[in-house]
């Protein structure tokens, strides 16, 4: 049985390699045109004009002997083309490195493939790398580029791309599109355990951020079984941090030192998310806020929560420290929200200014990031201010906005490229 399985795996990999060998024709055609070389001149003594034309138009698969002769004629170095078998090995290695969140190993892999001309499997490898190092600008470029050539992907490449695409949408906080992608992966998912673990981990993250907790935890349980099997401590630590965050989203709160100890092992942006969410649901937020990472995302939000706590407890010296730091970092961090201004309005008890800041800046930002947790907090605050002014109809409108956004984000989106 094992021999038969290994034979089938080998056959499938050879078939995949043959599929991508067609793509080499794009490189040959580009170089031939650059050299102002006719097909007749390029093919003479090697193959027929018709054969070369079919190679260049991806209609047939070139055999390796002809390929090397054509490359030699066009002065294409062998280190400028990655052959399909090598690309496939790189992609499989990329999945494993992404699975373990091995940034050092992935960096080495990236450096080994970055010099090659365009090959769609290597673009997928690059996408995984940019996601791992959180370079979302480069990830966006590569993600959109892959979409233009998506029709030439076979099952395995397509599955890996969809999983990485899910992580990309999660990274840019487009959980709606992440959910849509995830919901369509299952039909095409290649049977490979590391990839299956990542698929369920992405599902856990997307569904959890959309407050679909039951499905999220079901997927998380499967992902954890696979992470535990391979002693994948990086992803296990991530899982427990997100599990605690999603528990708070559901209205549950328990201080867990077991989870708190894992913060040192997760990336800084996730650490700040955890600390802020926990701080907003405890009577003593400083337990969490003293551990904020200044260079990571959401530091200003955490600093604002800290300043508000000091204000509420009449600790004006500490309040002023937070306010001054918020003012210093506002432009440096290019913040879309004036947290210092909001903090000043709270001290002045200027409900009108508070409401305008919440509506025009905070709510808009929370909606852009599809953050239902903060949308609920913000809309409740706006509703409370309106109720104090006896504007009960408007208060009710904002009280219902959370459910409206929840329905929008959880519904299936139109297919878009971001």
In terms of domains, do 217 and 114 share one?
Answer: yes
The CATH number of the domain where 143 resides is what? 1.25.40
Note down pLDDT in tens along the chain; length 418 residues: 445 434 544 555 555 555 555 567 777 888 899 899 999 999 999 899 898 898 888 777 677 778 778 888 888 776 555 556 677 888 999 999 999 999 999 999 999 888 776 577 889 999 999 999 999 999 999 999 888 878 777 788 888 999 999 999 999 999 999 999 998 886 556 568 999 999 999 999 999 999 999 999 999 999 999 999 999 999 999 999 999 999 999 988 776 667 878 888 899 999 999 999 999 988 889 999 999 999 999 999 999 999 999 999 999 999 999 999 999 999 988 899 999 999 999 999 999 999 999 999 999 999 999 999 999 999 999 999 999 999 999 999 998 999 999 999 998 765 444 4
Q: d(Cα 70, Cα 64) in Å, to the nearest integer?
A: 10
> Is residue 228 within 8 Å of 236, Cβ to Cβ?
yes
How far CA 264 is from CA of 98, 237, 258, 268, in Å, comes to 20, 9, 12, 9
Is 6 contained in some domain?
no
In terms of domains, do 190 and 91 share one?
Answer: yes
Number of compact structural domains in the chain? 3
Q: d(Cα 98, Cα 126) in Å, to the nearest integer?
A: 11
> Is residue 52 within 8 Å of 70, Cβ to Cβ?
yes
Residue range of the domain that includes 53 = 14-78
In terms of domains, do 215 and 89 share one?
Answer: yes
The CATH number of the domain where 24 resides is what? 1.10.260.40
Is 323 contained in some domain?
no
Name, in order, each residue with C-beta under 8 angstroms of 12's C-beta and a sequence gap of 6 or more: none
The residue out of 183, 198, 226 marking a domain boundary is 226
- Any idea which residue has 């290597």 for tokens? 122
In terms of domains, do 64 and 123 share one?
Answer: no
In terms of domains, do 43 and 143 share one?
Answer: no
Neighbours of 417 (CB within 10 A): 10
Q: d(Cα 230, Cα 87) in Å, to the nearest integer?
A: 25
In terms of domains, do 90 and 209 share one?
Answer: yes
Is 67 contained in some domain?
yes
In terms of domains, do 142 and 67 share one?
Answer: no
Tell me the CA end-to-end span of the chain in Å, nearest whole number.
45
In terms of domains, do 49 and 106 share one?
Answer: no
């Amino acid at each position: 049985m094992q021999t038969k399985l290994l034979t089938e795996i080998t056959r499938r990999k050879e078939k995949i390699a043959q599929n991508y060998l067609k793509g080499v024709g794009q490189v040959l055609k580009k170089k031939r045109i650059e050299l102002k070389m006719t097909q007749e001149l390029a093919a003479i003594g090697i193959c027929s004009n018709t054969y070369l034309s079919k190679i260049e138009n991806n209609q047939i698969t070139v055999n390796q002997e002809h390929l090397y002769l054509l490359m030699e004629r066009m002065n294409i170095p062998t280190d400028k083309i990655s052959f399909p078998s090598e690309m496939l090995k790189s992609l499989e290695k990329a999945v494993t490195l992404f699975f373990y969140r091995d940034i050092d190993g992935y960096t080495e892999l990236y450096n080994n493939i970055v010099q090659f001309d365009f090959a769609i499997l290597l673009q997928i490898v690059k996408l995984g790398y940019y996601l791992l190092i959180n370079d979302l600008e480069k990830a966006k470029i590569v993600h959109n580029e892959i979409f233009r050539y998506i029709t030439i992907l076979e099952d395995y490449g397509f599955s890996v791309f969809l999983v990485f695409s899910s992580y990309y949408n999660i990274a840019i906080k487009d959980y709606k599109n992440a959910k849509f992608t995830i919901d369509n992966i299952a039909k095409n998912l290649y049977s490979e355990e590391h990839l299956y673990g990542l698929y369920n981990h992405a599902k856990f993250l997307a569904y959890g951020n959309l407050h679909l907790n039951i499905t999220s935890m079901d997927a998380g349980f499967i992902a954890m079984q696979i992470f535990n099997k391979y002693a994948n401590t990086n992803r296990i630590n991530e899982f427990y941090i997100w599990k605690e965050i999603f528990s708070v989203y559901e209205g549950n709160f328990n201080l867990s030192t077991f989870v708190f100890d894992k913060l040192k092992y997760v990336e800084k942006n996730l650490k700040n998310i955890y600390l802020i969410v926990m701080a907003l649901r405890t009577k003593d937020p400083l337990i969490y806020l003293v551990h904020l990472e200044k260079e990571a995302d959401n530091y200003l939000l955490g600093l604002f929560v800290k300043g508000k706590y000091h204000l509420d407890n009449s600790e004006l010296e500490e309040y002023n420290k937070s306010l001054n730091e918020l003012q210093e970092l506002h432009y440096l961090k290019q913040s879309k929200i004036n947290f210092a201004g909001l903090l000043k309005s709270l001290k002045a008890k200027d409900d009108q200014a508070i409401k305008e800041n919440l509506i025009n800046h905070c709510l808009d930002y929370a909606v852009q990031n599809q953050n239902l947790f903060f949308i609920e907090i913000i809309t409740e605050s706006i509703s409370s201010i309106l109720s104090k002014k006896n504007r009960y109809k408007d208060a009710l409108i904002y009280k219902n906005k959370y459910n409206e956004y929840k329905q929008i984000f959880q519904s299936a989106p139109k297919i878009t490229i971001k």
